[in-house]
C-alpha cells in the first residue's frame, strides 16, 4: 500500500492520500486580517485547491471538522459554507469552538475525502 504526501513540511503534510482517501491538514485563510466571512471564503478556496491537487473535489468530501475561534461567528461561517458546499453532497460535519494558535485566526477546517 502506497502513501502519497503533498506539500510536506517537518511537522505535517498538507495532503496525504492512502487507499482511495485524501486527508487534508487543517486549512486556514491566507490573510488573517479579514472577518469570519472572508477567512471562511479563503479557507474553502484552499480546501478546493488541496483537493484538486490530490485528485478530488468538494463533492467527494466525507467529513469536515470546523474549528471556530468564537461561536458568535457561526452564522457568518455558515453563510459562506452553505454557498460553497456541493448540492446533494453535504459531508458529515462537526463545528467546535477552539482556541487558535494565533489570535487573528478565526477558523480552521480539516477534511477527509474520497479520491
pLDDT for res 1: 73
Q: Are 49 and 72 in contact (CB under 8 A)?
A: no
Task: Please report where in the chains the cell 489570535 appears, as a residue.
Answer: 103
Residue 25, CA distances (Å) to 16, 35, 49, 83, 88 in order: 8, 22, 13, 23, 25
| Tens-place pLDDT, residues 26-78 | 999 999 999 999 999 999 999 999 999 999 999 999 999 999 999 999 999 99
What are the structural domain ranges in the chain? 2-112
Query: Which helix (H) or strand (E) covers residue 111, if one does?
Result: strand 107-114
Instruction: Classify 47 as helix, strand or coil.
Output: helix
- pLDDT (tens digit per residue) in 5-21: 999 999 999 999 999 99
Model pLDDT, residue 112: 98
What's the DSSP call for residue 43?
A: H
pTM (2 decimals)? 0.94
| Assigned fold of 2-112 | 60s Ribosomal Protein L30; Chain: A; (3.30.1330)
Amino acid at each position: 500500500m502506497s502513501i502519497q504526501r503533498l506539500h510536506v513540511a517537518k511537522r505535517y503534510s498538507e495532503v496525504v492520500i492512502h487507499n482511495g482517501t485524501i486527508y487534508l491538514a487543517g486549512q486556514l485563510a491566507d490573510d488573517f486580517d479579514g472577518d469570519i466571512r472572508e477567512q471562511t471564503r479563503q479557507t474553502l478556496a484552499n480546501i478546493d485547491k488541496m483537493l484538486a491537487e490530490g485528485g478530488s473535489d468538494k463533492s467527494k468530501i466525507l467529513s469536515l471538522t470546523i474549528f471556530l475561534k468564537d461561536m458568535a461567528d457561526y452564522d457568518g461561517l455558515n453563510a459562506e459554507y452553505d454557498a460553497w458546499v456541493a448540492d446533494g453532497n453535504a459531508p458529515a460535519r462537526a463545528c467546535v469552538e477552539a482556541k487558535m494558535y494565533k489570535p487573528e485566526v478565526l477558523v480552521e477546517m480539516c477534511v477527509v475525502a474520497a479520491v
